[in-house]
Amino acid sequence: MAIPIRSTTRPTVSPTHDWDHLVQRDRVHRALYTDPAIFDLEMIRIFGGTWVFLGHESEIPKPNDFVTRKMGRRPLILTRDATGKVHAVFNRCMHRGATVCRETQGSARYFTCGYHGWVYNNAGELISAPLDHAYGKSFDRSRFKLARVPFVDTYRGFIWGTLNPEPQPLHEHLGHAREYLDQWIDRSPTGEVFVRSAKHPFVYRGNWKLAYDNAGDGYHPAYSHQSLLMIAQRFGEARDMQYFGGNPDDSRMYALAIGNGNTFIDQRPEMYAASGWAQQRPQPGREFYEEKLRARLGDEEADRVLELAIGAGMNLSIFPNLLIVGNQIQLLQPVAVDRSELTWYATTIGGVPDEINVLRMRTQEDFPALGEVDDVANWEACQEGFTVPEVEWIDFSRHLENDVRKTDERGITRTVVTDDMHMRVYYAEWKRLMSREEPLSVG
């Protein structure tokens, strides 16, 4: 076993980083989106100090499969070794520090550093170092295993990791989010979700939290996505997302705060008020596949399975970097204080006719191509606006003073869909993590 490595350095926090001042009841300071020192601290205390989503087991289905990821800005290789065990090893040679894997995914039993030729297996063990006699008799390969994420755990195929030496168990960290993740997974008749299709990456000039802000914001769709909604209006009938028009708070949609900075928006009461399938915008090949299914299955069964071809109607945000939107998984990746990556991963499900997964892919092409571009433009506009130093505050007071929230016996708070509760609760978790100073460790 590799000797655990414990960090002895702690980022210097500016005396002006008074978290209670920067995160208030109804607003946050612009510095949380613009200060490089705060960003650097987030990469340690948040993207190291809590459970971070790393990937899905179906991305590495076979022994020796791998994908590369990042944990904050730490380069990582998520591997499945020859025995089928999953590892999260840091993509950093223990010799001079070069990355040992320069592909984004594939199958490999070994990773070879291109700098001096050190070879590691996919469990992170050092297999060989060229001309190692020069290191003397004391050279011990076991001391040079690739550093790894010391705690890796899964929940129904989703893989998380943390560098916190005393982490809360994953199932407790997820808490009530598990219920809504279960609902999303169990749309599949077999409870199987596969992340093995195409992905749609976005790089935007803005802070990573702008995407997380937006994921739980039910206020913006009618204004940000007007062009998308106008496409549907041309057909002169109710279409997907039209229920965000007018006053969405009068709709049957709602938002939940479910603990640990996690939130949930439920569009299903509107999407499935009638037929969700009938509300979908036009899709290539839709009529052909629907006709095939009806001919083979009959109308009643076809109606049932076609409802699985459309978006889930769920927005589940699991802090800090996992967003479930519709049928897709979004992975949020910070790059710099004013630069981020957001990757949409398409999913397929088990237990349905092939035509349903084809139609799911058409549905999953829709919003990233026609809607997410609106969001990215807005996030970049926000980041530009934050450069005005004299205007310090970012508001999230919507519905704060209104009696629209109710908390049940489980501690879940329900509110109207345009409430800024999402930002208020996740920033409470952000502040809790940023206030801790415990050193982290790697295996």
Tens digits of per-residue pLDDT, 161-212?
999 999 999 999 999 999 999 999 999 999 999 999 989 999 999 999 999 9
Domain span at 94: 51-163
For residue 179, the domain's CATH number is 3.90.380.10
Query: Which token pair is 35?
Result: 């200060």
186 and 309, same domain (yes or no): yes
Closest to 304 measured CA to CA, from 271, 346, 275:
275
- Quote the number of domains for the chain: 2
Last-in-domain residue among 118, 144, 163 = 163
Q: Of 104, 139, 163, which one is at a domain's C-terminal end?
A: 163
Tell me if 439 is assigned to some domain: no
pLDDT tens profile 4-53: 444 444 444 454 589 999 999 999 999 999 999 999 999 999 999 999 99
Same domain, 323 and 283: yes
257 and 147 within one domain: no
Range in 13-22, 258-267, 393-402, 406-415 with the lowest mean pLDDT: 13-22
Residue 237, pLDDT score: 53
- pLDDT at residue 357, as a whole number: 96
Question: pLDDT tens digits for 96-149?
Answer: 999 999 999 999 999 999 999 999 999 999 999 999 999 999 999 999 999 999
Q: What is the pTM of this model?
A: 0.93
Last residue of a domain, one of 163, 187, 216: 163
